[in-house]
Amino acid sequence: MVRVAVIDGQGGGIGSLIIKRLKEELGDRIEIIALGTNSTATTAMIKARANKGATGENAIQWNTGRVDIITGPLSILLANGMMGELTAKMAEAIASSPSKKILLPLNQEDIEILGITKEPLPHLIEKLVERIKEVAHV
C-alpha cells in the first residue's frame, strides 16, 4: 500500500482539503499520514480522515523517510515557512527525504516562482490528486 504524508501547519486547512479529496478519490487504496507543524493542523487533518497523525519537528523528521509520497504547500520546504512554524530541521528532513514530493505552488513567504500560472486552490488540488494517482499507480 502506498503511504502518503500530508504536511501542513497553521490551521491545517490546505492539508485537510488534500486529504478529503484523496480519500474521496482513492479511499483505502492509500494510507495517509497527517503531519502537522502544530496540533491544530494535525487535528484538522485527522478529522478530514487521515489514517494516522503526528505533530511537531520530531514527528516530521521521523516520518518523512518512511513514506512513498510527501505532499502539501510549497512552503513545507522553506525553513521558517508558515510564519515561522516550519523549522529548519523540518524543511531539511522533507527536502532530504527520498520520497517523491508533489507540492502545491502556494506559500505566504516572500518567494515568487516564475513560470507557474495562478489557479484557484480547488483546481490545484485536483491536479495534485491526479498526479498522486499516477505516481502511486492506483
- Average pLDDT, integer, range 108-125: 88
Q: Say if CB 32 and CB 62 are below 8 A apart.
A: no
pLDDT recorded at residue 108: 72
pLDDT in tens, 17-70: 999 999 999 999 999 999 999 999 999 999 999 999 999 999 999 999 999 999
Integer Cα distance of 135 and 138 in angstroms: 8
Q: Say if CB 72 and CB 14 are below 8 A apart.
A: yes
| More confident call, 75 vs 117 | 75
CATH of the domain at 41: 3.40.50
pLDDT recorded at residue 109: 74
pLDDT recorded at residue 73: 96
Domains contained in the chain, number:
1
pLDDT recorded at residue 24: 97
pLDDT recorded at residue 21: 98
- Name the band, by pLDDT with cuts 50, 70 and 90, for residue 113: confident
Residue 118 pLDDT > 90? no
Structural domain range at position 121: 2-136
pLDDT recorded at residue 114: 87
Dihedral of the alpha carbons of 117, 123, 124, 129, in degrees to the nearest 10: -140
CA nearest to 48, candidates 14, 10, 86, 17: 17
pLDDT in tens, 58-112: 999 999 999 999 999 999 999 999 999 999 999 999 999 999 999 999 867 788 8
Question: What is the CB-side half-sphere exposure of residue 65 using CA atoms within 13 A?
Answer: 8
- Global confidence as pTM: 0.96
Integer Cα distance of 108 and 106 in angstroms: 7
Residue type, 13: G
